């Protein structure tokens, strides 16, 4: 099967050099025909789906047979799993038996439907987490949690941890999310695909065409935040900071958002935001990745004013485009933005407004930060690095299993 449109590891050579590419290819050679499956709860919307849609194809291009399954669930299942998500990020939760029964029953139904006969199973986030209960364990199972675990709700954690400890390894985004667990914990920062429609180079004409298509005015500087409609992304705070900044320097705010299929809260957030629409406060919900690209490229300043963030893919996407980014001083964003060097970190609306004004007024600063931001992504946040971490992990299990085999013999 040959398809020239698929990104291959070799395509990264022009960005990261041949040495790294060769190293990754060698590691993949040792794992040829390994059969891997990733399981999560949405094929669209949000960072996990974004990563999986590129990473899985890239893994296949190296000869690792990698599949992707998405669990199904009723609306009440996703209402409960969103509550679980929120509580893992520190929110409250009322864990009733009724809720847990729905959660566990729907996961069980998915386990019945999914026949897994793989060499490696990777479960993403809490939605499919209990699946592990329902299989005879014949291979390593890895739980990859993308959530900001700075301060998880303890009652929920106590319920989840015996399930998590059934896994062979847990992958978290940063060391600060480490928990008390018997299972080994690894730390993989997420990454972006520089060749996707969302991230590839665009000509000025292409950028302009997308903006004109959606009637986005470019007469004033653009301040942009691209995010799922979610309170943790603090869109209200962005609007407030923008209003303060606008008193000093005139500009246009664009909030582009979407709603993931596993996030039932998105609509309410969107409804509350559109009430705040004004001439210069543009709130859009379009499923158009080229528009994301165009906005991040044309923006004078990109904001990601999250108050919790496992890791901000949108931050990496904007930094890759050389944008000056103002990010919330939380979670994974702290590993992406070095304050004052390749962007700014902020902890309040007032601070966000100050940095916004500073950047809007200072083109040189924006350009310097933007250049350093692109270098940061080149060094740390491209998918080839994440692929290599997975290969190392798979390799370590392979060795372990061979060793166990030889002990038995
Ligand atoms: N995204 C998008 N369109 C939108 C809003 C978000 O394509 O209208 C994408 C965004 O570009 C990024 C992902 O959704 O790739 C969000 O990932 P992030 O890690 O920033 O946040 P999450 O949604 O996972 O919390």
Q: Give the residue with greater pLDDT, 265 vs 360.
A: 360
User: Taking 50 as the threshold, does the pLDDT of residue 407 lie above it?
Assistant: no
- Residue pair 30/396 in contact by the 8 Å Cβ criterion: no
174: CA distance to ligand 1 center in Å?
Answer: 19
Q: List, edge to edge, every strand of the sheet that includes 169-172.
A: 65-70, 35-40, 120-124, 141-144, 169-172, 185-187
287: helix, coil or strand? coil
Ligand 1 centroid to 45 CA: how many Å?
6
Domains 9-14+31-191+382-400 and 204-380 share a fold: yes
pLDDT at position 174 over 50? yes
Residue 19 confidence (pLDDT) above 60 = yes
Task: Kindly give, in sequence order, each residue whose CB lies less than 8 Å from that of residue 78, ignoring residues fewer than 6 positions away.
Answer: 41, 127, 261, 262, 263, 264
Q: Mention every residue, 6+ apart, whose C-beta is less than 8 A from residue 12.
A: 20, 21, 194, 382, 384
| Sequence-ordered list of residues with C-beta below 8 angstroms from that of 152, at least 6 positions apart, any chain | 87, 88, 89, 90, 179
Q: Under DSSP, is residue 264 helix (H, G, I), strand (E, B) or coil? A: coil
For ligand 1, atom 24, the nearest C-alpha belongs to 47
pLDDT at position 85 is 96
Q: Which option is the CATH number for 9-14+31-191+382-400: 3.30.1390.20, 3.40.630.10, 3.40.1160.10, 3.40.50.2000?
A: 3.40.50.2000
The single-letter DSSP state of residue 147 is S
Ligand 1 atom nearest the C-alpha of 311 is 19
Q: Where are the domains of the chain?
A: 9-14+31-191+382-400, 204-380
Looking at residue 37, its pLDDT comes to 98
Q: What is the DSSP string of 185-227?
A: EEE----B-TTSTTTS---HHHHHHHHHHTT---SS-EEEEEE
What is the separation of C-alpha 391 from the centre of its chain, rounded to a whole number of angstroms?
20
Selection from 248, 362, 358, 343 nearest residue 302 by Cα = 343
For residue 390, pLDDT over 80 is answered with yes
Q: Using CA positions, which residue lies closest to atom 7 of ligand 1? A: 289
Taking CA atoms only, the protein residue closest to ligand 1 atom 8 is 257
Interval 330-377: pLDDT, tens: 999 999 999 999 999 999 999 999 999 999 999 999 999 999 999 999
What is the average pLDDT across 166-180?
97
Residues 52, 23: Cα–Cα separation, whole Å: 22
The best mutation among 313, 316, 320, 325 to test binding of ligand 1, ranked by most ligand atoms within 8 Å of the C-beta, falls on 313
**Per-residue pLDDT at 89:** 93
- Does the beta carbon of 313 lie inside 6 Å of ligand 1? yes
Mean pLDDT of 221-231: 97
> What is residue 268's DSSP assignment?
H
Cβ–ligand 1 distance for 314 under 6 Å, the answer: yes
- Ligand 1 pocket test: which of 51, 314, 325, 377 has the largest number of ligand atoms within 8 Å of its C-beta? 314
50 lines ligand 1 (CB under 6 A): yes
Residue of 88, 227, 258 best suited for mutating to test ligand 1, as the one with most atoms within 8 Å of CB: 227
Quote the ligand 1 centre to 281 CA distance (angstroms). Answer: 20
139/181 Cα distance (integer angstroms): 20
pLDDT bin (cut points 50, 70, 90) of residue 306 is very high
**Rounded to whole angstroms, how far apart are CA atoms 196 and 198?**
5
Q: Distance from the CA of 26 to the center of ligand 1, in angstroms?
A: 32
Cβ-contact 90, 272 below 8 angstroms: no
Span 309-340, pLDDT tens digits? 999 999 999 999 999 999 999 999 999 999 99
Least confident of 86-100, 168-182, 203-217, 255-269: 255-269
Ligand 1 atom nearest to 315, measured from its CA: 20
Provide the mean pLDDT of the chain: 95
pLDDT at position 262 is 85
User: Are 382 and 192 in contact, with CB atoms under 8 Å apart?
Assistant: yes
Nearest C-alpha neighbor of 59 from the set 122, 114, 125, 137: 122
CATH of domain 204-380: 3.40.50.2000
Q: What is the pTM of this model?
A: 0.95
What are the CA-CA distances from residue 134 to residues 48, 115, 156, 220 (Å)? 24, 11, 21, 57
């Amino acid at each position: 099967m040959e398809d020239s449109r698929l990104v291959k590891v070799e395509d990264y050579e022009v960005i990261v050099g041949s040495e790294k590419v060769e190293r990754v290819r060698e590691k993949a050679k040792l794992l040829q025909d390994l059969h891997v499956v990733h399981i999560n709860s949405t094929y669209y919307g949000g960072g996990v789906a974004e990563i999986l849609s590129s990473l899985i194809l890239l893994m296949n291009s190296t000869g690792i047979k990698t599949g992707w399954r998405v669990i199904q669930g009723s609306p009440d299942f996703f209402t409960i799993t969103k509550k679980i998500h929120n509580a893992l990020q520190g929110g409250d939760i009322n864990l009733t038996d009724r809720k847990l029964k729905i959660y566990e029953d729907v996961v069980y139904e998915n386990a019945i439907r999914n026949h897994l006969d793989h060499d490696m199973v990777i479960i993403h986030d809490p939605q499919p987490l209990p699946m592990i209960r329902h299989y005879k364990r014949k291979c390593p199972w890895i739980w990859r949690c993308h959530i900001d675990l700075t301060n998880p709700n303890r009652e929920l954690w106590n319920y989840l941890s015996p399930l998590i400890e059934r896994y062979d390894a847990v992958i978290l985004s940063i060391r600060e999310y480490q928990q008390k667990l018997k299972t080994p914990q690894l730390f993989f920062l997420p990454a972006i695909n520089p060749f996707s429609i969302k991230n590839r180079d665009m000509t000025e004409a292409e950028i302009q065409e997308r903006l004109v298509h959606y009637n986005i005015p470019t007469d004033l500087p653009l301040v942009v935040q691209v995010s799922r409609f979610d309170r943790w992304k603090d869109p209200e705070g962005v609007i407030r900071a923008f209003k303060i900044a606008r008193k000093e320097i005139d500009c246009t705010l664009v909030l582009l958002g979407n709603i993931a299929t596993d996030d039932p809260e998105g609509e309410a957030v969107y409804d509350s935001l559109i009430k705040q629409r004004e001439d210069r406060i543009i709130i859009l919900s379009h499923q158009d990745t080229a528009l994301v690209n165009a906005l991040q490229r044309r923006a004078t300043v990109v904001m990601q004013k999250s108050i919790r963030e496992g890791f901000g893919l949108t931050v990496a996407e904007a930094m890759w485009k050389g944008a000056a980014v103002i990010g919330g001083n939380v979670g994974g964003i702290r590993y992406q933005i070095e304050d004052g060097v390749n962007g700014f970190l902020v902890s309040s609306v007032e601070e966000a407004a100050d940095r916004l004004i500073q950047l809007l007024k200072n083109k040189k600063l924006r350009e310097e930060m933007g250049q350093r931001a692109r270098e940061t992504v080149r060094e740390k946040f491209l998918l080839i690095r994440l692929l290599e971490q997975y290969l190392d992990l798979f390799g370590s299990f392979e060795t372990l299993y061979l060793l166990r085999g030889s002990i038995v013999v």
